[in-house]
Amino acid sequence: MKIIKSSSSGSLESNDLLVFVSPNSGVKIEIDSIVKLQFEKSIYETILKVLEEFEVKDVCIKIEDKGALDFAIFARVKTALLRAGEEK
């Protein structure tokens, strides 16, 4: 999938996260989380899993996490990518 525009998904409610996606050269991920110290690596891996599933090679992803679990991170990143992307 090719990212052709900026988009976002999710919210800043507890247990949720806000995801911003925009076109980029290469993969850039920025994570801000209330549990960054404990779960940054895990959040990062979940994001990479979604990128792999949708074959996204060039994207900038910024997230503001409010304690979301993996399933919500996956779903919100997926939604933001689909809103910003164009199937190859």
- Residue 36: phi and psi, rounded to 5, are -55, -45
Q: Are 65 and 34 contacting, i.e. CB atoms less than 8 angstroms apart?
A: yes
Q: Is 32 helix (H, G, I), strand (E, B) or coil?
A: strand
**15 binding another protein? (CB under 8 A):** yes
Stretch that binds another protein, among 28-36, 37-45, 53-61, 67-75 (CB under 8 A): 67-75
Min CB(16)–another protein separation in Å: 5
Among positions 13, 45, 53, 55, the unique one binding another protein when judged by CB under 8 A: 13
* Cα(10)–Cα(83) distance, integer angstroms: 12
By the criterion CB under 8 A, which residues form the site for another protein? Answer: 9-10, 13-16, 68-72, 74-76, 78-79, 82-83
